[in-house]
């Protein structure tokens, strides 16, 4: 029987601190410097235990009357002697010993889904491209502000009061993700994280702006609201997916599934909240107020009478709503017109 074994030594957090390959058996384990395997753990005795080959050719761990004892990880039992085979785990002091045999199979090689130079990855690793996206974001934001304003447009005032805070917010967001990806995947990628956020914001801003024109042009909200909800789900899913890809080596499909699930749940919750709010009582009518230049009218205008005819539908709905109400008539008692005696 091959007497060579490998001992993985890990600390109390499970982090492997050493892999020790025995040249021969027996070996002694402990804190003292005359041991074969020196364990740096104050709860381990100078001579804590030994690993030997017994007469039957089995590998056995003997406790050397240690203060804190030797335990099996599997059931927590303390013993003076443990037979050891592949994948046995013992605990001495605060240290874990994981026994491996040289011929033991290891996990298949994991495929790297985010190699450093993959074509078509988003966002590209090109710094100049990332900066271009950020500038485009700033430009679109300014254009939107300019078109939405109807007084003197003072760019510098706008720059300091809105654009700088927006820039700081983007930087903050990118910094948080950069730190996460640094810890989990050893990539800082600050500009790429910033590009992800800005590109998504750009897409949302422009699609909302376009949808506003369609809502106005067709004098219709519903269908475009649905499109808008769909787009925001996609946007949130992509945002999360791209950030996570820089933070994790998990497969694309798993990340996409996770991100999509989050987006669907998030957008649904917001929609449910909006729906419940719309069911609340409002003093004022909630009619659409978005207006565009006359040229963007798409459907034809109708005559006054045709338009007014459509109120009949509203009236029916209101009547139905009132009919189902409990009749709250408090006619009995004090307040009634009474006949004169």
Partner 1 sequence: MTTMIRIALCVLLALISSHAIAASSSNSAQELFERYRDSIIQVQITNKLSGERSALGTGFYVSNDGLVVTNYHVVSLVVQKPDNYRVEIIHRDGSKEKPDIVNFDIINDLALLRTETKPVNPFSLAIEPLRKGARILSLGNPNDLGMTLVNGSYSGNLENSLYERIHFSGTINQGMSGGPAIDEYGKVIGINVATSGNGVGFLVPAKFGVQLIDKTRHDQKAEGVMENIQKQLWLNQERFMGTLLTGEIPVSPLGEYMLPDRIAPFMHCWGDSDKDKKDMYEVVTRVCSSRQDVFIDEDYSTGQIFYRHKYIKSGQLNALRFSSLYEATLSDRLPTDGDEEYHTNFRCNDDFVDNGSVNMKISLCLRGHKKVHGLFDMTLVAVSLQKNNSGMQTSLLLTGVSYENAQKFARKYLKAISWKQ
Q: Pattern 204-233, binding to partner 1, x per CB under 8 A?
A: ------------x--x--------------
Shortest distance in whole angstroms from residue 332 CB to partner 1:
8
Is residue 218 classed as helix, strand or coil in its secondary structure?
A: helix
Is residue 60 left, alpha or beta, with left meaning phi > 0 and alpha meaning psi from -120 to 50? Answer: beta
Q: Do 88 and 99 form a contact (C-beta atoms < 8 A)?
A: yes
Does 42 help bind partner 1 (rule: CB under 8 A)?
no
Does 109 help bind partner 1 (rule: CB under 8 A)?
no
Q: What angle do CA 306, 309, 311 make, to 5 degrees?
A: 130
Stretch near partner 1 under the rule CB under 8 A, chosen from 82-90, 128-136, 192-200, 301-309: 301-309
Helix (H) or strand (E) holding 137: helix 127-148
Question: In the set 23, 115, 148, 222, which binds partner 1 (CB under 8 A)?
Answer: 148
Shortest distance in whole angstroms from residue 334 CB to partner 1:
5
| 107/321 with CB nearer partner 1 | 321
Stretch near partner 1 under the rule CB under 8 A, chosen from 21-29, 59-67, 126-134, 149-157: 149-157
Does 322 help bind partner 1 (rule: CB under 8 A)?
yes
Whether cis (ω within 30° of 0) applies to the bond prior to 309 is no
Shortest distance in whole angstroms from residue 341 CB to partner 1:
9
Does 33 help bind partner 1 (rule: CB under 8 A)?
no
Is residue 50 classed as helix, strand or coil in its secondary structure?
A: strand
What span, in angstroms and rounded, lies between the C-alpha atoms of 110 and 168? 38
| 24/330 with CB nearer partner 1 | 330
What span, in angstroms and rounded, lies between the C-alpha atoms of 88 and 86? 6
């Amino acid at each position: 029987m091959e007497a060579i074994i490998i001992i993985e030594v890990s600390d109390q957090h499970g982090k492997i601190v050493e892999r020790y390959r025995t040249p021969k058996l027996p070996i002694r384990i402990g804190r003292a410097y005359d041991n074969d395997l020196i364990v740096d753990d104050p709860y381990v005795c100078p001579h804590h235990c030994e690993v030997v080959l017994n007469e039957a050719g089995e590998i056995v761990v003997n406790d050397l009357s240690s203060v804190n004892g030797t335990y099996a990880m599997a059931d927590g039992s303390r013993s003076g002697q443990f037979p050891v085979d592949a994948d046995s785990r013992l605990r001495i002091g605060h240290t874990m010993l994981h026994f491996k045999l040289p011929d033991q199979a290891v996990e298949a090689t994991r495929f790297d889904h985010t190699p450093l130079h993959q074509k078509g990855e988003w966002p590209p690793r090109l710094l100049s491209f990332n900066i271009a996206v950020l500038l485009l974001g700033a430009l679109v934001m300014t254009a939107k502000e300019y078109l939405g304003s109807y007084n003197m447009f003072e760019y510098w005032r706008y720059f300091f009061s809105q654009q700088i805070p927006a820039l700081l917010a983007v930087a903050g967001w990118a910094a948080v993700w950069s730190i996460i990806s640094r810890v989990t995947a050893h990539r800082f990628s600050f500009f790429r994280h910033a590009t992800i956020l800005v590109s998504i914001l750009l897409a949302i801003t422009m699609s909302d702006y376009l949808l506003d024109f369609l809502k106005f042009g067709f004098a219709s909200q519903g269908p475009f609201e649905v499109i808008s909800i769909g787009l925001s789900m996609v946007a949130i899913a992509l945002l999360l997916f791209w950030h996570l890809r820089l933070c994790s080596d998990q497969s694309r499909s798993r990340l996409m599934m996770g991100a999509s699930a989050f987006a669907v749940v998030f957008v649904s919750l917001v929609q449910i909240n909006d729906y419940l709010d719309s069911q609340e009582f409002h003093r004022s009518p909630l009619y659409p107020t978005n207006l565009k230049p006359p040229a963007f009218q798409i459907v034809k205008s109708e005559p006054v009478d045709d338009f007014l005819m459509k109120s009949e539908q509203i009236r029916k709905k209101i009547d139905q709503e009132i009919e189902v109400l409990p009749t709250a008539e408090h006619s009995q008692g004090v307040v009634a017109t009474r006949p004169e005696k």
